[in-house]
Amino acid sequence: MSLGEAPKHDDLFRSSTRYCDGRLSETSIYRLLHERGPVLFPDGSFADLFAEVGRNSVAPQIVATVMVLQRIEGLSDRDAVDRFAYNMR
């Protein structure tokens, strides 16, 4: 599997960012992960874990973010996947 990368589009989540910005406290873990996620979990930091060729993986930044939220919310792997899938809808 080769390294997948998080989307780099500046306006990809523009509408959700605008919607959530005033609703999240300054100390919210969700705000922190949104604002600092690319710095905390840069895709390139995980490059040595992947092959040069092959199908792209899920971006490491996304996997790391889900794992942090899973731990904070005390979810099993299955529950974390289900919650992520639900929230993405």
Identify whether 6 is part of a domain.
no
Instruction: Inform me whether the pLDDT recorded for 84 exceeds 80.
Output: no
Q: What is the pLDDT of residues 10-42, one digit of tens each?
A: 555 555 566 667 777 888 888 888 888 889 988
Identify whether 77 is part of a domain.
yes
Q: Range of 73's domain?
A: 14-88
Structure token digits, residue 14: 């523009």
Instruction: Inform me whether the pLDDT recorded for 2 exceeds 70.
Output: no
- Model pLDDT, residue 71: 92
Identify whether 82 is part of a domain.
yes
Identify whether 58 is part of a domain.
yes
Q: Structural domain tally of the chain? A: 1
Token look-up 């969700």 returns 30
Structure token digits, residue 37: 């996620």
Token look-up 């904070």 returns 72
Q: What is the pLDDT of residues 47-83, one digit of tens each?
A: 888 877 777 777 888 888 888 989 999 999 888 878 7
Identify whether 18 is part of a domain.
yes
